[in-house]
Structure 1
C-alpha cells in the first residue's frame, strides 16, 4: 500500500522537490499552501493551510484522513526566513517568525498525532536548518526559531516511543530556492548603527542562496529517511563546510568559533 505523505509548504522550493520526488515513486502526496489556487498545475494536490491559522491545519488533516484513511508521513517543511539586527526587528515580526517556524509545526504535529497513534505507526520529519545549530549575526531570530524546533524534536521523539511514531530533524544548508523572496528583511536604515555590517551580511546571505545546492538533494535524503526503520535524531544536508561548521562548533572554544563566524561575515 502506498504511503500517504503530507508536506507543509509543498508548493515551491524544497517542499515541491520532495513532493515531486515522492510522487514519482508511487507515494500518495498532499502539499499545502496559503494560496493553493496559484498551484493548479502541481503534480499532487495542494491544500489550503496557513500555519498561523489552526483551523486550516485541522481542515487539511481531516481532508486527507477522510479521503485516504491514514497519514503515514508528515514533513514539516513550511517556514519563513527573517533577517535584520535583532534590536531593529519589530516584536510583531519576531512573534510572526516563531508562529511560522516553531508553533505552526508543533500544531501540525499535534493534529496528526491522534491518527498516527490510532494506526500505531507514523513518521514525522521536521525540516529545520543548519542555521539552527548556531546564532548567526543578522539571522539570530531565524537561528533561534529553527534551533527551538530542533530541540523540541529531541524531546518529542522520546515521548512518542510508546506509540511506534518516529520523529527526526533534517537540517538543510543553503539551497537554490526562492526563500529569499519571501523572507522578512528589516529595512536597511540610513541612520542605523548597523547599516554597514548588516548590508554586507545581507549581500553575502543572498549570494549563498543564489549559489545554493540542488533541492533534489533534500528530496533524496527524505526518501532515504522514509525507508529507514530507525531514523537518527538529526540529519544535515548541504555543502561540506556548512555541515562541518556544526562539528567545529562542538569542538572549538566558544570565542574561537565566534571569531570564525565574524571573519566569515566580514564583521
Structure 2
C-alpha cells in the first residue's frame, strides 16, 4: 500500500521538489498552500492551509484523512525567512516569524497525531535550518525560530516513543529556492547605525541562496529518511562547509567560533 504524505508549503521550492520526487517513487502526496488555486498545474493535489490559522490546519488534515483514511508521513516544510538588526525588526514581524516557523508546525503535528496514534505508526519530518544551530548576525530571529523547532522535536520524540510515531529534523543549508523573495527584510535605512554592515550581510545572504544547491538533494535525503526504520534525531543537508560549521560550533570555544562568523560575514 502506498504511503500517504502531507507536505506543508508544498507549492514551491523544497516542498514542491520533495513532493514531485516522492510521487515518482509511488507515494500518494498532498501539498498545502494558503492559495491552492494558484497552482492548477501541480503534479499533486494542493489543499488550503495556513499554518498560522488553526481552523485551516484542522480542515486540511481532515480533508486528506477523508480521502485517504490515513497520513503516514507529515513533512513540516512551510516556513518564512526574516532578516534585519534585531533592534530594528518590528515586534509584529518577530511574532509572525515564530507563528509560522514554530507554532505552526507544532499545531500541524497536533492535528495529525490522533490519526497516527490510531493507525499505530507515523513519521513526522520537521524542516529546520542549519542556521538554527547558531545565532547568525542579522538572521537572529530566523535562527531562533528554527533552533526552537529543533529542540521541540527532541522533546516530542521522547513523548511519542510509546506510539510507534517517529520524528526527526532535517536542517538544510542554502538551496536555490525563492525563499529570499518571500522573507521579511527589515529595510536598510540610511539613518541606521547598522546601515553598512546589515546592507553588506544582506547581499551576501542573498548570493548564498542564489548559488545554493538543487532542492532535489533535499528530496532524495527525505526519501531515504522515510525508508529508514528508525530515523536519527538530526539530519543536515547542504554544502560540506555549512554542515561542518555545526561541528565547529560544538568543538570550538565560543569566542573563537564567534570570530569565525564575524570574519565570514566581514563584520
TM-score with structure 1 setting the length: 1.00
Residue 175 in structure 1 maps to residue 175 in structure 2: yes
Q: Which residue matches 2:83?
A: 83
Aligned residues: 267
Residues 81-112 of structure 1, C-alpha deviations (whole Å, 9 max, x = no match):
00000000000000000000000000000000
1:228 to 2:213 alignment: no
Give, in whole Å, the separation in 2 of the partners of 1:75 and 1:172.
Answer: 14
Distance 2:51 2:59 in 1: 12
1-side partners of 2:183 and 2:123: how far apart? 29
Q: Distance in 1 between matches of 2:263 and 2:67?
A: 53
Secondary structure at 1:47's aligned position in 2?
Answer: strand
State whether structure 2 residue 69 is matched by structure 1 residue 69.
yes
1:184 maps to 184
Q: Which residue of 1 aligns with 2:138?
A: 138
1:200 is aligned to: 200
Shift of 1:152: 0.5
Match of 1:37 in 2: 37
Q: 1:244 matched to which residue of 2? A: 244
Q: CA deviation at 1:146?
A: 0.1
Q: Which residue of 1 aligns with 2:53?
A: 53
| Pairing 1:133-172 to 2, within 5 Å after superposition | 133-172=133-172
For the aligned residue pairs, the C-alpha RMSD in angstroms reads: 0.3
Q: List runs of 5+ in structure 1 lacking aligned partners.
A: none
Deviations 1:30-70, CA, capped at 9 Å, x for gaps: 00001101101000000010011110000000001011000
- The residue that corresponds to 2:9 in the other structure is 9
Helix, strand or coil at the partner of 2:6: strand
Cα distance in 2, alignment partners of residues 250 and 26 from structure 1: 39
**Separation in structure 1 between the aligned mates of residue 52 and residue 130 of structure 2, nearest angstrom:** 24
Between the aligned partners of 1:37 and 1:179, the Cα distance in structure 2 is 20
User: Runs of at least 4 residues of structure 1 off by over 2 A?
Assistant: none
Distance in 2 between residues matched to 1:41 and 1:246, nearest whole Å: 38
Q: Tell me which residue corresponds to 1:121.
A: 121
Deviation at 1:24, TM superposition (A): 1.0
Residue equivalent to 1:28: 28
TM-score (ref. length: structure 2):
1.00
Partner residue in 2 for 1:109:
109
- Equivalents in 1 of 2:249, 2:255: separation in Å? 10
